[in-house]
Structure 1
């Protein structure tokens, strides 16, 4: 019996770099367009997440704080979210889905 070799799931480096750039642009556009069209900025966040998952790219901690972990809506402090500090934690409260996300800071 001969064994078959497994196919590599690794994507070419140039595709990964292009995907990282797309993710960065989507988050910037979401920030710019939020006041005009919040639904469009929510869509940009979903697209950025989908690209990150497809290419197995980890989002930076700054990018993770830009959207709600529960409803995946773009968070703009003062508009659709509240940010509080408590015991070394940043607590983001999404006004769309009424859920909390906690991040540590030091």
Structure 2
């Protein structure tokens, strides 16, 4: 195939395949963790080949350093420290730090919006 961007239908199929692989990795983890790690490796290869992002729900479910599937309570620990989420990988010891200020702002704005709607209803 020529250089450049891939057609939309190819990207959609790649997204579906990555989603299927992550679902299978989640189901297989208890029985065979090595197989679930292999599924993550395959999903990353698809992502790189088609130059797409890994679907949003699965983006934080694998370690960015060792590329292993993460299951809280089994091989990773999740902590909330100083306005950020710390995900500690039990396989390699890497800590992924994700700020959650934006989520807090959205929640606060939703609360303010609901309050203003209630206030207007009474007027």
Q: Which TM-score applies when normalising by structure 1?
A: 0.88
Shift in alpha-carbon separation, 1:39–1:29, aligned structure 2, 3 A:
same
Q: RMSD of aligned C-alpha atoms? A: 1.2
1:93 is aligned to 2:93:
no
In structure 2, the partner of 1:41 is 36
Higher helix proportion? 2
Looking at structure 2, the residues matched to 23 and 38 of structure 1 have their Cα atoms a distance apart, in angstroms, of: 18
Q: Contact 2:19–2:55 (CA<8 Å) still a contact in 1?
A: no
Looking at structure 2, the residues matched to 60 and 33 of structure 1 have their Cα atoms a distance apart, in angstroms, of: 19
1:56 is aligned to 2:48:
no
Looking at structure 1, the residues matched to 23 and 30 of structure 2 have their Cα atoms a distance apart, in angstroms, of: 13
In structure 1, the partner of 2:77 is 82
Say which one has the larger Rg: 2
Q: Aligned pair count?
A: 100
Q: What are the superposed Cα offsets for residues 35-89 of structure 1, whole Å, 9 maximum, x if unpaired?
A: 0000000011111111011111112443221000110000000000000001121
Gaps of 5+ in 2: 104-123
Gaps of 5+ in 1: 1-6
Looking at structure 1, the residues matched to 38 and 53 of structure 2 have their Cα atoms a distance apart, in angstroms, of: 19
